[in-house]
Structure 1
Amino acid sequence: MTFEELGIREDILKAISELGYEQPMPIQEKVIPVLLNNEHDVVGLAQTGTGKTAAFGLPVLQKTDVKLRQPQTLILCPTRELCLQIADDLLEYSKYINDLKVLPVYGGSSIESQIRSLRKGVHIVVATPGRLLDLMKRGTVKLEAIRNVVMDEADEMLNMGFTESINAILAEIPKDRNTLLFSATMPPEIARIAKNYMNNPQEIVVGNRNESTNNVKHRFYMVHAKDKYLALKRIADFYPNIYGIVFCRTRKETQEIADALIRDGYNADSLHGDLSQPQRDLVMQKFRIRNLQILVATDVAARGLDVNDLTHVINYGLPEDSDIYNHRSGRTGRAGKTGISIAIIHIKEKNRLRDIERKIGKQFEAGTVPTGKAICEKQIISLADKLEKVKVNEEEIAELLPSVFRKLDWLTKEDLIKRLVSLEFNRMFEYYRDATELDIPDERGGRRERGERGDRRSGGAGFARLFVNYGKTDGVFPAHFIDIINENVPRRVEIGKIDILQNFSFIEVEEQSADIVINSLNKIKGLDRKMVVERAQPEGYHGAKKRKFQHEKKERGGWKKNR
């Protein structure tokens, strides 16, 4: 099957041929004929990087009446970056369609310039929901001629809180439109939008529902929580040509990991919500042109980052939601290429890993953290490979070589190779020569037996019961306490039963570690409300303490906000 056989006309075929498009990708083959023939509304379920933009973009361009200078297609997407990426792609596809106008509409840019462009006349509007609503309220964007509505990465838009905005926008668009909804997953909110705003939609699935792409290998490395960063360094060193994203859960952790990588000589930077838009744009530009090898990012900040050639996605700890993991891993292995999604986990995250395996329908392979010797060998082979393939510009260096030859004439071939390798890797050799190998926990990791419902049984003798001033009001779960102990206590701690009450909790830890756990958790900074941990007192004491916390006037944020 070719694009011509799918019904794409000559001027568009010429543009996409120059872009290197040869054979339609599966989702393009399925979606394009449906849209060209106006047969159905469409719900397309496919991972990022499967060719969705061309799947809806080519038929939308072909159906546009250039003589009618009003918006005929509206494309909604979650972020400024994705908005610009889609607009750029459509402009490339329409290179030979005279006078066709595509306008990206997003926050963080001058609304006045966008209004001026709308007044001059545009055919396709690519918009983030918030900015489009602003324009609608000002009466500066007309939607009565809209015949196609596309919602790209719809699940991300809902995750970002755009549900009400989407409902408000769709309510103002003519009902005799075609609606196209593209999503990587199919949560209940997407099904509700399809039911309320789409007319008997045809569901087109590439792969299986909520399944990760087959081009991605899933691998985990089990380490002690205190060794996560050291494991990250070894993994990065083991893949000399790594071009990837390291996902962290919080802004604070993202900046800390990026700072540590930069300090240790890695070509890295951070992307998170505390950056200004100019800072964010600069980081993303450096990453796109590969001036950065490693981008450390939060999930929210990385949304809409469209980069096709990522070799690795590294989860610096697992997300709570398997859909989030799917989105992360789907950023590699795109456009027919292969990629690796890595999870660096500690023993308490093993059950979460198994849960993600069940939901994505993939099994993680267990990786062994590379040894210093293996890393140095991999680096040397990579250098040899680069030397073997380097392009030599004979004419430009011809005049310089005689003096170089005279300078190095006394060295044998073996001497030259040794010096070249040493020049490149002495720092790494010295680091791994002095570095001790990581103490890798076994699969059991001292994990305690669990009750039938998965709750931890009481540790009994040898365990201390601790009081913590965080409870259900703060949105905490047992996994949160396990994570914060593993991340902040400088040694492995055996954890027993965890009881989470409304305003505080009780945690059992091994007696020999109780004092260091108390001291470590009481020193945690960066929370909106100080964490207080102490040995549990008789019931009456904590009953009074509970009443005290209920009457506190301090504002309480959720656990995720605080951390």
Structure 2
Amino acid sequence: MKFNELGLKDNILSAISEMGYEAPTPIQQKAIPYLLENDSDLIGLASTGTGKTAAFGLPLINKIDSSSKNTQGLIICPTRELCIQIARDLDAYSSKLRDVKVTAVYGGTDISKQIRQIERGTQIIVATPGRLVDLINRKKVKLWEVETVVLDEADEMLNMGFKEDIDSILQQTPDHKNVWLFSATMSKEVARIAKNYMTEPFEITVGGKNETNKNIEHHYYVVNERDRYTALKGIIDFSPNIYGLIFCRTRRDTAAVADKLMANGYNAEPLHGDLSQAQRDRVMDKFRSKTLQILVATDVAARGIDVDDITHVIHYQLPEDVENYTHRSGRTARAGKKGTSIALINTRESRKIKSIERIINSDFQLKKVPSPDEICMIQLQNTVASITDTEIDTTRIEKYMPAILEQFEDVSKEDVLKKFLSVEFNKFLSYYENVKDVNAKSSKGGREEGFKSRRGGKSDSRDDENRQRFFVALGRKDGFNHGALLRLLLDNTGMNKGAIGKIDILEKFSFFDADKSETEKILSKMQTVDFEGQTMNIEKTKGGGDSDKGGRKTSSRRNSGGDRSSRDRGNSGNSGNRSRRRSYNN
């Protein structure tokens, strides 16, 4: 099938032809004709990187009445990077159409400039939830003529705690609008949005629900925690032509890993929320233009990365929620190409691999971190190949050759090669002479290693003497999740995300760790904060560095919750294991 068979306007076909679009992807083949021919709601489920932006963007552009300057289309997405990317794509799709304006509105930049653009008239607004709510409250965005609302990456927006904002925005739009919901996964929260705001939606699924892209190979390496960075270096060095994305859980880890890689001579930079918008734009421009080889990012910052030809996605740490694994790995194998997703895990995390396999319906291959000899051989062969493949520009170097040949007249061809490779690799070879085998023992099921923390071993951060454990009187039954807790903490306390440690979201209540130095700030700033009309009731617990490993709450309030948490969180650390298991099975 070709794009000219889908029913799009000739001007749009001309624009996408210049962009290099040839044949539509499966989600585009199914969604575009339906959306052009039907005035109805739609749910589109497909893996990240399968062309969802064009699947909703092309029919949306096709429907716009350019004679009216009122906002007719609204696209809501989770991050500013994705917002910018979608707006750029829509600008390109409509480049052959007159008077079609697309405006991106997102936080971290001058709101007055965005207001001026909206006031001049724009048919399509692409927005992040927080900035859009701000503009609505200022009465600068008028949505009464919106005919189509697109919720892109709906699962990720809900994971990030934007449920309340999305509810608020959708209530400002007309009842007769169409809602097009696109997502990589179909979680309970996404289903709730569909139930509350959509009328008999037509559902298109490409692949199984929550499945990852079939063109991705999934590998995992088991290493001891102390060897995680050494293993990362080995994997990168074994793939000298890598054009990759490394994911870390926190801004602090992202910055630390990027700093180490740059100090070790790798062409790498970080992307996280502590960077200014100008810094983030600079990094992304370098990555898109391939002048940057390795990007180290947090989940949130990387949501807008729509870059072709990424060869590897490396999970330096597994995400808390399996949905994020799908989004992360979907950064590679885009546009029908193949890619590799690599997970680095410690000996206690093998069970998570099994859980992810069940949910994404794809198998992982257990791999060994290559030996120093294997890595050195790959690097040497790659260098030799790059030399032999280099075209000789005789006209430019000919005048220098007599002097150079004179210097080498007493040196054999073999010695020249040895000297050249020594110049290139002496430091590299010296490093790998001292690297030991970093592979740890683990079964794929992870039963023996996975239960270590339940038998009394220390958990990741709970026993850190510099951490404090906190109790929150909200759980999954309240619609509470990791993203909501992080957002409320960061917005109301001004803390750095790196100060927040392990989070356990249980059915009726939750726990989180934070640096002890932030304790008073958390207790004072969070007293008046609520979540969707419900008081959070954050309290300090014992444990998390205190001598009482039973983890009893300092307050007797909500005694049943406190007693249960004490039993679950005793010396064995059962709560942490159960909550982590749940987060990968939901």
Q: TM-score range by the shorter chain?
A: 0.7 to 0.9
- Unpaired runs of 5+ in structure 1? 460-465, 476-501, 506-523, 537-541, 552-558
- 1:273-284 alignment, distance < 5 Å: 273-284=273-284
Distance in 2 (alpha carbons) for counterparts of 1:120 and 1:155: 33
Question: What's the counterpart of residue 471 of structure 2?
Answer: 473
1:199, distance to aligned residue in structure 2 (A):
1.6
Give distance in 2, aligned partners of 1:236 and 1:187.
34
Q: Please, which of 531, 542, 545 is the counterpart of residue 532 of structure 1?
A: 545
**Cα gap change, 1:467/1:131 in structure 2, threshold over 3 Å: closer, same or farther?**
closer
Q: In the alignment, residue 367 of structure 1 is paired with which amino acid?
A: K
Q: Which residue of 2 aligns with 1:489?
A: none
Taking only the aligned residue pairs, the percentage that are identical comes to 49
Give the Cα separation in 2 of the matches to 1:467 and 1:199: 50
User: Residue deviations 1:534-563, cap 9 Å, x none?
Assistant: 597xxxxx8xx9576779xxxxxxx99xxx
Give 1:319-398 correspondences, 5 Å limit.
Answer: 319-398=319-398
Instruction: Name the SS of the counterpart of 2:336 in structure 1.
Output: coil
**2:142 — aligned with what?**
142
Q: Secondary structure of 1:33's match?
A: helix
Deviation at 1:193, TM superposition (A): 1.1
Change (3 A) 1:450 1:101: closer
Distance 1:260 1:285 in 2: 22
TM-score (structure 1 length as normaliser): 0.80
Secondary structure, aligned partner of 1:8: coil
Looking at structure 2, the residues matched to 471 and 75 of structure 1 have their Cα atoms a distance apart, in angstroms, of: 39
Give the counterpart letter for 2:341 in structure 1: S
* Secondary structure, counterpart of 1:49 in structure 2: coil
Q: CA RMSD in A?
A: 3.4
Does the 8 Å contact 1:247/1:313 carry over to 2?
yes
2:300 alignment partner, SS class: helix
Deviates more, 1:299-308 or 1:322-331: 299-308
Q: 1:102-501, aligned counterparts within 5 Å?
A: 102-438=102-438, 440-443=440-443, 448=448, 456=454, 473=471
Q: Take 1:17 and 1:317, find their aligned partners in 2: how far apart are those partners?
A: 40
Shift of 1:450: 8.9
> Aligned partners of 2:355, 2:300: CA distance in 1, in Å?
23
AA aligned to 1:362 is: S
**Superimposed CA distance per residue, residues 121-164 of structure 1 (whole angstroms, 9 cap, x where no aligned partner):** 22211111222222222222222222111111111111222212
Change (3 A) 1:303 1:458: closer
Contact 1:129 1:162 in 2 (8 A): yes
SS of 1:126's partner is strand
Please give the alpha-carbon distance, in whole angstroms, between the structure 1 residues aligned to 2:464 and 2:81: 45
Listed one character per residue, the Cα deviations across residues 327-346 of structure 1 (whole Å, up to 9, x for unaligned) are: 11111111111111111112
Aligned-partner SS, 2:310: coil
1:281: Cα distance to partner?
Answer: 2.8
- TM-score norm. by structure 2 comes to 0.77
SS of the equivalent of 2:255 reads helix
Distance 1:125 1:445, change over 3 A: closer
**Partner of residue 567, structure 2:** none
Aligned counterparts of 1:472 and 1:140: Cα–Cα separation in 2: 40
**Contact (CA 8 Å) 1:503, 1:549: kept in 2 or not?**
no
**What is residue 100 of structure 1 aligned with on the other side?**
100
Offset of 1:365 from its aligned partner?
Answer: 0.5
Change (3 A) 1:76 1:548: closer
CA distance in structure 1 between the partners assigned to 2:145 and 2:427 by the alignment: 64
Which amino acid in structure 1 is aligned with residue 148 of structure 2? Answer: N
Deviation of 1:185 (Å): 0.6
From the superposition, tell whether residues 400 and 103 of structure 1 become closer, same or farther in structure 2 (CA, over 3 Å): farther
Query: Aligned-pair distance for 1:293?
Result: 2.0
CA gap 1:64/1:547 in 2 versus in 1, 3 angstroms:
closer
Find the residue that maps to 1:355 and give its secondary structure. Answer: helix
Structure 2: distance between partners of 1:15 and 1:61: 12
Distance (Å, rounded) in 1 between the aligned partners of 2:81 and 2:511: 41
Check conservation: 1:3, 1:13, Cα contact below 8 A: yes
Give the corresponding residue for 1:516. none
Given the superposition, is the C-alpha separation of residues 22 and 410 from structure 1 closer, same or farther in structure 2, using an over 3 Å criterion? farther
Instruction: Answer whether contact 1:449 1:456 (CA < 8 A) is retained.
Output: no
Q: Distance in 1 between matches of 2:298 and 2:231?
A: 19
Identify the residue that residue 568 of structure 2 maps to in structure 1: none
| Structure (1 or 2) with the larger CA radius of gyration | 1
Separation in structure 2 between the aligned mates of residue 97 and residue 172 of structure 1, nearest angstrom: 29
Contact persistence 1:27–1:51 (CA under 8 A): yes
Cα distance change on mapping 1:444 and 1:218 into 2, 3 Å:
closer
**Which SS does the other structure have where 1:240 is aligned?**
coil
* 1:320 CA drift (Å): 2.8
Structure 1 140/436 Cα, relative in aligned 2: closer, same or farther at 3 Å?
closer
Asked whether the equivalents of residues 28 and 52 of structure 2 are also in contact (C-alpha less than 8 Å), the reply is yes
- Equivalent pairs, count: 497
Tell whether the 8 Å contact from 2:369 to 2:439 is kept in structure 1 after alignment: no
What is the CA deviation profile of residues 203-261 of structure 1, one whole-angstrom value per residue up to 9, with x for unaligned ones?
11111100111011111111122111111111111010112122122222222222222
Which residue identity lines up with residue 99 of structure 2 in the other structure? Answer: D
